[in-house]
Amino acid sequence: MINVSSYLLFGPWKVVFFYCLGCLFFGFGLSLSHGGSIAGQVIYKGTLPQTIEYKVTRDQEFCGTKRTYTPIGIDPTSKGVQGAAVSIRSTPLLKDSRQPQTSILMNQNCMFLPHILTTRVKDILEIRNNDPILHNTHIRRGKKTFINVALVVDGLPIRKHLKKSGVMKVECNAHKFMQAYILAFDHPFYSLTNPSGNFQISEVPPGQHKLDVWHEFLGHLTVPVEVPTKGNTSITIEFPTP
């Protein structure tokens, strides 16, 4: 709470300034105890792209001779989109007291698992190779390499801190058909849609927000949403057809 005597002494702008500094360094400020939740579904009613087939040219005895990739997972009944990342674009000033956790990206059965990995800034990314063959994990943010490492059979996991938010693409230089994505957030207000396209984000501060929706094939869109105090908001988000 802002003290009235401080307000009269320093003026409104200085009080707000020092109050924000206190939020940063001492952890007081906005509380999530009155937050609401956003529950919704991401849908797409357009024409689905064809399945992509890759010819395997290396380690065929383990990976097989071909691999297929479906760009969009769609629920046939509801048209819900699987694997879309939904997040709050702008968040209030909050102190993050959460301890860093480990997010695991596995090379398994000649695939990256999970295909879409959502995690937090300051977390530790741990890359493992569970296959009996050599893999290479090359992770880029745009054109800039985050890590590019060979993973030998029965080797130790590779660990690296995530310092920036954003989308990163994962590829295996040894097996071109292996691809995945990592989305790192600097707040806890995000969710990945399930096979039915549904998502839920809890303890969202009340007020007006913008939801960012990302999908590896459908792209990116932003929609407004209002969250009530200790209430629930339902929303359906539809990706436009080409």
Tell whether 61 is covered by a domain. no
State how far Cα 230 lies from the chain centre.
25
Domain count, the chain: 3
Of the candidates 138, 158, 186, which is a domain's last residue? Answer: 186
Cα(204)–Cα(200) distance, integer angstroms? 10
Q: Note down pLDDT in tens along the chain; length 242 residues.
A: 434 343 334 443 443 344 344 444 333 344 455 689 999 999 999 999 999 999 999 999 999 999 999 999 999 999 999 999 999 986 655 666 788 999 999 999 999 999 999 999 999 999 999 999 999 999 999 999 999 999 999 999 999 999 999 999 999 999 999 999 999 999 999 999 999 999 999 999 899 999 999 999 999 999 999 998 888 999 999 999 87
Beta bridge partners of 184: 119, 166
**Where in the sequence is the domain holding 15, given as residue range(s)?**
1-30
Tell whether 41 is covered by a domain. yes
Is residue 146 located within the same domain as residue 113? yes
Tell whether 56 is covered by a domain. no
Non-local CB neighbours of 222 within 8 Å, separated by 6+ positions: 89, 210, 211, 212, 213
Collapsing DSSP to helix, strand or coil, 13 comes out as helix
Tell whether 65 is covered by a domain. no
